Structure 1
């Protein structure tokens, strides 16, 4: 199971060189491997932080590390660096045929009632980690925009109660490239451009991060003129089926309706990779059910789960 067990020696060998060595506040961090194993245990089991086994050290240390790394973008940085290593692999380990979709997650009642205060101030840039080029002005948002249950916390209300929606772009081998969370009632198509713009795989040497996939696949929820124009502007091929009502309206207008959008049936068959990736994410119980009150913390939880998928794939 992807969601179970501590980091293996092989996984730790990949992750260790990428980790910060100092918190710039109190000197050196407590043993990273022990703390990350504690976070991994919580991801897989959904256990309360206070109930973490003693072998992971003080639960407050594990909890605070996760909060800080969610706030300052460390989890996202680690995910991008692991992606960069895969993209630089001579065997072409990263498949740039991308698929996009979303999934709704039920929020536990403990996820409600977030305090109205900003995220913790992230420490200054960490020392000792290898540098990877990134575009000027790049930054990691501390808290994603949201709505519904509480401003900025990505909680929405529906007949089923509080929900959060995870929007994800996945490469061809069922591994997440970019993640975004919104309130559960938010439409999929409204977040397509935001998810695509978050794809940013750095180069291991010099050069700008790669942001343009070879092709994009999505279901009918993403079939509209705005999305097709966005992909056409960026020169990205796509496999998005046309909605029935859109087709009927186009045919009704005759020659004025224009030509039908191109659609590659064989390419569309590969869209199952995003469904399988969502299934992998939901093997982590802390992802399948949202327990985190703050939106930025839950996004960090999902990103940490995506990082483990990359390490264990």
Structure 2
């Protein structure tokens, strides 16, 4: 009886070992194929080494010295390593881990990203691994642009849940958000170093579901419904809600409701940052002063903006060019 039991245990161990090795080889082949296909598409896509460990219950893949660049969009990513952890018996739940330092390549130059820890959890379903829910958490995150200015966060948390075929509830929270130091110095240092509140809750609809291969052909937004976007920085507070329909060219049509407290200080910060010309700021200030008076107070705004025909409208008056919502 004991010999038979030992034989069964040994056979099961050998079978599981074979299954794990088969899973390792199939994963590595799939990853290698993805990188090769990207290179065939004209991308820069490579790494120094790829290893799969984690026997017996996981397939933990580590890549070193990664570089991925899409020349068409000018977007890319560089990292000394990246890790993806999968259960051997469940390929639909993945944990991803990033290094302390990485570089995001943009058409305007590289962004250097550092963090104490950055991890994501992704749950998918189906043969195409369509995303059903996911979270990303980054602690002590710093993003430095080409001008040397750094935006810092104590924690960034992003959560998404699919609600139907291609729509997702998304929540973004940034704790301890601090804008570049030069901006605060330009305002005389009168404002707090960090925002007291920075969060967004929205539902996004796309023209296709997000899958693990969406980097190849990114789904484009067709609707953005902002339940609430809130920013509070010292005496200033801004809240937005809105519902926008997006056409195939990225043009939005819909209304955005804006509530702003101490909007004059916001405009002063924009002036001090150098991002808004004085002539434009003067015109905006005159218009907003009139609108604030109509809504019952000089220091607060409560108004609705209309996005249509590529422009932002305040009543019958165009006040600026509307952004285009295209994912490159």
TM-score (norm 1): 0.26
Of structures 1 and 2, the larger Rg is shown by 2
Structure 1 or 2: more helix by fraction: 1
TM-score (norm 2): 0.25
Considering Cα pairs closer than 8 Å and 6+ residues apart, tell me whether 1 or 2 has the greater RCO: 1
